[in-house]
Structure 1
Amino acid sequence: YYYVQFQTKEGIDYKTVFALYLYAMSLISYSIIMIKTPSPVPSWSKSHSMSLCNEKGGPLYCNRCNIIKPERTHHCSECDQCAPKMDQINGCVDQGNYKQFFLFVFYVAAYALWVEFNTLPILLNMVKDRIPGGRFTWSFCFKVYKTYLSSIYYFWRNIVMMVWYRTWIPLLSGVEGLGLDDISPHWYSVCALGCVFGLTVSGFALAHFCFIIKNKTSIEFAANRPIFVRVDFDQTGENYRVVCIKEKKDFKNMYDVGMYQNWCSVMGSKPLLWLVPFNSASLTNESSFAYNPAFTAHVLKLAN
């Protein structure tokens, strides 16, 4: 973490306190993801007139677990069992810990950007105080660019020389400095890492925010295979029709029931607990999900 005192002459440094808060919340969220066991697969039941099925109208089945799997349930290779509302991430993330996963990437992105926005101005001021004229000029920027190119050249040149002569040579030997040797390299490292992690993880968090308000997972977002929907016209189980939907645009938002309801289904209905990494949403044991009204109307139109 960047060098800053916990207490200034005026009192507590709230920038550091807020940074520690973001860091602690990311660690708590990550710890819950790691220790939380996979959610149990709810028992399948035919309780709705519409449901996803196989080509013949039968329920979806997992050949590895040998169970009938409800909708949005997939087999997780990490825990070797089916996980309800599983997400395609390197780890076991399902409806039981998806909120913690989203808060983890959110807090990591916020922490990285907070560190970047607080260290970059300090680093720029230190550099400005050490360059001629005390301000950034085009000649100084061009000198930085030449130093960057020469560092790449001498880096690989010195590696070749070390292999050829079988002796150690400093990797950046031969690079002309910028007169900034008294600035600790940790400043550059923290700014670079804050920028890289802040931008990349922010994009990741934004993507999952969009998934939440659209009530979809990354598996459903990437799916491009046709789906089969069974429409029962009565409760006998004999009078039904299987509808095949091939176009992704017709089922990409099939579980979207409104942004607020979608958000609350993951983050909970209490706004004060949205940023707390504990489940406040009621995780039901239902084996089916409400469909988007437009999707329902489209399927019924095809079935009739």
Structure 2
Amino acid sequence: MVLGVIDGSASKLAIFVIITLLEALCLISYYLVVAVGPGSPTEFSELCCLQPDPAVRLEPPEFLKSNTVMVKRDGGYRFCNKCKVWKPDRCHHCSSCEQCVLRMDHHCPWFADCIGFKNHKFFVQFLIYTSFYTGLATFISGYCLYKIYYLQSVSLDKFSLHTMFVFVLGAVMWLCVSVFTLFTIYQLLVNRTTLESYESHGYRSSGNSHEIGNIFDLGYKQNWCSIMGTTWMEWLLPIRTSSEYGSGLTFQVNDLVYRKLQQEVQLQERLSQEITNYRSLQKQINKSALPPA
């Protein structure tokens, strides 16, 4: 019905091919998000630590020691007691999937799976394909309604509730998906996951420190290539990338932010030491001020 209102057989064929192609890309990228999975540290034997007694827990591997910037509150290396694995930077445990996820972005109910290091690219592509698909459906159905009601160049006999339904549903879906797609692309360009955006917001609002910067932000281009690949073919099609950005266990860091973070840590350590010395001096003064027994 919708294509029947379009003028010209060439236009109809072009629209049909584009819609079919977008449908195929949506289905393929959806499948790859689920089939590839987010990636987990449990897939790497060197990160597993199955010692039953925490007191005799093995040390983390050397590559993790030398390349880790995220630590626990006490300064120790992060460890998951549920999965029994050492947690690399940006790795989090998902209570829904019941496993740790490499570079976890979020748990997505659309896929009943997590979005992480391995399937993030396909997730972004799925959103982009879906945005174009719903946008095209909205435009075509809206054009049909425009010809029927405004131009009146098409007989009302060709009108059906199907066209109106496609327009309304397409417009709502296009608006919702497009907003989420733009947000996801922005997060990708600044190299920040959804979880990290929540964490950084809570950190800043606590009032205990100022914003230092995102240590994983390497610039828009490098951030994009680290997830989407380095070629146009990898950007446009749902294919695996020949990425040079590792396996999700370690990540490049912004040297400037890293130096700022080091200076911040050194300042906090110096301040803590000065407070300790001051308290010790106060105890000595108070003790010497006591009258002799």
The TM tier, using the shorter chain, reads: 0.7 to 0.9
Q: 1:54, 1:203 → 2: CA distance?
A: 34
SS at match of 1:51: coil
**Which residue number in structure 2 is paired with residue 62 of structure 1?**
80
SS at match of 1:249: coil
Mapping of residues 140-179 of structure 1, within 5 Å? none
Letter in 1 for 2:27: L
Q: 2:34, 2:248 → 1: CA distance?
A: 25
**Which residue number in structure 1 is paired with residue 16 of structure 2?**
16
Letter in 2 for 1:24: A
Letter in 1 for 2:146: L
SS at match of 1:82: strand
Matched, 1:188 2:164: yes
Report if the CA contact (8 A) 1:6-1:13 is conserved. Answer: no
Q: CA deviation at 1:193?
A: 1.0
Q: 2:71, 2:11 → 1: CA distance?
A: 63
Structure 1 unmatched runs, 5+: 135-179, 228-244
Letter in 2 for 1:94: G
Matched, 1:301 2:263: yes
**Which residue number in structure 2 is paired with residue 255 of structure 1?**
216
Mapping of residues 216-235 of structure 1, within 5 Å? 216-223=192-199, 224-226=201-203
**138, 143, 148: which one pairs with 1:126?**
148
Aligned length: 238
Structure 1 residues 89 and 58, CA, compared in 2 at 3 Å: closer, same or farther? same
Matched, 1:290 2:252: yes
Report if the CA contact (8 A) 1:216-1:255 is conserved. Answer: yes
Q: 1:276, 1:32 → 2: CA distance?
A: 12
Over the matched positions of the two proteins, sequence identity in percent amounts to 28
Q: CA deviation at 1:216?
A: 1.0
- Farther-moved stretch of structure 1 (38-47 vs 77-86): 38-47
**131, 150, 169: which one pairs with 1:109?**
131
Q: TM-score, normalised by structure 1?
A: 0.70
Structure 1 residues 121 and 225, CA, compared in 2 at 3 Å: closer, same or farther? closer
Structure 2 unmatched runs, 5+: 48-60, 267-293
Letter in 2 for 1:120: G
**Which residue number in structure 2 is paired with residue 76 of structure 1?**
94
Report if the CA contact (8 A) 1:225-1:246 is conserved. Answer: no
Q: 1:248, 1:203 → 2: CA distance?
A: 29
Q: CA deviation at 1:49?
A: 6.8
Q: CA deviation at 1:287?
A: 2.8
SS at match of 1:89: strand
Aligned-pair RMSD on alpha carbons?
A: 2.9
Q: 1:287, 1:271 → 2: CA distance?
A: 26
**Which residue number in structure 2 is paired with residue 276 of structure 1?**
237
Report if the CA contact (8 A) 2:216-2:254 is conserved. Answer: yes
Structure 1 residues 219 and 10, CA, compared in 2 at 3 Å: closer, same or farther? closer
Structure 1 residues 113 and 70, CA, compared in 2 at 3 Å: closer, same or farther? same
SS at match of 2:69: strand
Q: CA deviation at 1:281?
A: 4.1
Report if the CA contact (8 A) 1:87-1:93 is conserved. Answer: yes
Letter in 1 for 2:182: L
Q: TM-score, normalised by structure 2?
A: 0.72
Which structure is richer in relative contact order (CA contacts within 8 A, separation 6 or more)?
A: 1
**Which residue number in structure 2 is paired with residue 264 of structure 1?**
225
